[in-house]
A and B are shown apart, each in its own frame.
Chain A
Amino acid sequence: GENVEQHPSTLSVQEGDSAVIKCTYSDSASNYFPWYKQELGKRPQLIIDIRSNVGEKKDQRIAVTLNKTAKHFSLHITETQPEDSAVYFCAATKTSGSRLTFGEGTQLTVNP
């Protein structure tokens, strides 16, 4: 089955700096890669996703890049703000309705 690894496990940045979180996956058939944000005690919420037919996707301060050859994808947050502080999870799946496999999560702390 799919295996997703995520790095780093913790990341601390100053407000206004950029943050990058990286994930690798094992199953070359995976072609849908979402990122979820989970604030303490809250539900995971989708912030951005990418499908394998594109290499990059942006949404305001958030971007995701995908390298299918190397089987890795990354989340980029620019101009970080304290409210970006949360745990971020990457995930991977095939589009045929199979389950999402999540990474272990990255605790992002943005210091004012």
Chain B
Amino acid sequence: GAGVSQTPSNKVTEKGKYVELRCDPISGHTALYWYRQSLGQGPEFLIYFQGTGAADDSGLPNDRFFAVRPEGSVSTLKIQRTERGDSAVYLCASSLNAADTGELFFGEGSRLTVL
């Protein structure tokens, strides 16, 4: 596609529920990143993939968070037993190749609200 696409753009859920957020990166980009942005804050790193494998998942806050990228393209961020503190905008970004640091192309984000 022309840019990074994220769905849903908005998700409202109840505490304790399970959510999935999807990211479709720019075609041909092998590196994919997930960030979380709370109101008035900078993006906070969660995880990044080089191809199908998670190269660095040290930013995931706890074991309720998990992400996959089974075919090296689309990625899904999964959050179990959501808590109110999980409310934020979840940003996905892709780049041509993580080994050659360059511009990250961000999606518009998925705004998650946990009631």
Give the B-binding residues of A (Cβ under 8 A): 4, 6, 32, 34, 42-46, 49, 89, 91, 93-105
Are B42 and A45 closer than 8 Å at their CB atoms? Answer: no
Known contacts A43-B106, A43-B109; is-contact A100 B45 (Cβ 8 Å): yes
Are A96 and B45 closer than 8 Å at their CB atoms? Answer: no
- Which residue on chain B has the smallest CB distance to residue A51? B101
User: Which one, B40, B43, B97, B102, contacts A44 given CB within 8 A?
Assistant: B43
Least CB distance, B88 to chain A, in whole angstroms: 14
Are A49 and B103 closer than 8 Å at their CB atoms? Answer: yes
Least CB distance, B39 to chain A, in whole angstroms: 11
9 smallest beta-carbon distances between A and B, as pairs: A97-B98, A102-B42, A99-B45, A43-B106, A95-B101, A46-B103, A97-B99, A32-B101, A44-B106
A-B contact pairs, 10 of them (CB 8 A): A4-B42, A43-B107, A44-B43, A44-B91, A46-B104, A97-B101, A101-B45, A102-B42, A104-B40, A104-B42
Known contacts A44-B43, A89-B43, A104-B41; is-contact A96 B106 (Cβ 8 Å): no
Distance A89 CA – B30 CA, assembled complex (angstroms):
24
Give the A-binding residues of B (Cβ under 8 A): 4, 31, 33, 40-45, 48, 50, 55-56, 59, 91, 97-104, 106-109
Known contacts A32-B101, A42-B108; is-contact A99 B42 (Cβ 8 Å): no
User: Which one, B56, B99, B108, contacts A99 given CB within 8 A?
Assistant: B56
- Which residue on chain A has the smallest CB distance to residue B34? A99
Are A93 and B42 closer than 8 Å at their CB atoms? Answer: no
Distance A89 CA – B4 CA, assembled complex (angstroms):
20
Known: A34-B103, A93-B101, A100-B104. 11 other contacts (CB 8 A): A43-B4, A43-B106, A43-B108, A43-B109, A45-B106, A46-B104, A49-B102, A96-B99, A97-B55, A97-B98, A100-B43
Are B91 and A95 closer than 8 Å at their CB atoms? Answer: no
Question: What residues of chain A lie closer than 8 Å to B43, measured between beta carbons?
Answer: 44, 89, 100, 102
- Which residue on chain A has the smallest CB distance to residue B106? A43
Question: What residues of chain B lie closer than 8 Å to A44, measured between beta carbons?
Answer: 43, 91, 104, 106
Are B103 and A99 closer than 8 Å at their CB atoms? Answer: no
